[in-house]
Amino acid sequence: MKFALWGFQSDGEIKKYVLEILDKLTDDGHAVFMLDTFAEQTEITRPDVNIIQENDIPADADFIISVGGDGTLLSAAQAVMRTPIPILGINLGSLGFLTSLERDWRAGLDSILKGHYHIEERMVLNCRLEFEDGTEETLWALNDVVIERADIFNLLALEVRVGEQLLNRYLCDGLILSSPTGSTAYALSAGGPIIDPNVEAVLITPISPHTLSVRPVVTTGENNIYISLSNPDGHAHLHIDGKNTRQIDSSLRIRVRPSSYRIELVVMPENTFYNKLRKKLNWGQRSS
């Protein structure tokens, strides 16, 4: 089998786990590829590991192993957005909603190598920036598209349309448009609902709206969602999965809709979405 090892940060703990994972895979005779920047950070120089750049991930790789937290997995998802390579996340971070294995990864990886896993397809958001001169830029997000104010002293004025219908004109600190996967991320902190990842929907969650009656809205995903800055002098920051930041203003319109792309996540049979919710959010546990 072919494995690509992915990560973008390193410390003593991460380096220790990377070395152990490499030893496990190479001892079992698997072909291993590793992102060059990650190899440099973890000081990996081994003849049995193929060092590659981000654009050179083998299209026939069986898995990408993401070593880190949810942020690391999101960056791996950006790299394989157009190539359906399953992502296996090993959580060395804090929460780990997207990852399948924790620090005691050995038994889980052995089970996966024996075929004891399933693939969960996750919806991706297509975010298109439409500029006044007719040019466009398209970005993709597994978690969310976030628009936040650039001026800390002024609220954002945003107009949001679902298809041809006006949803609202928001005065707020920002707006989160999230996939069901992203409903357990920033949107959850902003008061949004949790959405089953099998639902084809887009969640619109305002950040600190000026009107208390404004609440998150779940749309079906069948319509395009259009966002524009209402204030001609307004400026904002656009974030895609917490990265890929763009400076935006009222000269463009943003369109968000479900993409035809899907991200494939490796899931252990006992580590279902609802099991994760109960465990990660400590549901059913009494506070001491």
Nearest CA-CA partner of 261 in 59, 71, 84, 66: 84
Annotated catalytic residue 70? yes
Cβ-contact 73, 66 below 8 angstroms: yes
Q: What is the 3-state secondary structure (H, E, C) of 211-272?
A: CCCCCCEEECCCCCEEEEECCCCCEEEEEECCEEEEEEECCEEEEEEEEEEEEEEEECCCCC
Q: Which residue is catalytic, options 23, 70, 144, 241?
A: 70
Which residue bears the tokens 């809205």? 217
Phi/psi class of residue 192: alpha, beta or left (left: φ > 0; alpha: ψ in -120 to 50)? beta
Q: Where are the alpha helices (DSSP H) in 68-201?
A: 70-79, 106-113, 186-189
**Cα–Cα distance for residue pair 170/214, rounded to 1 Å:** 8
The residues annotated as belonging to the active site are: 70
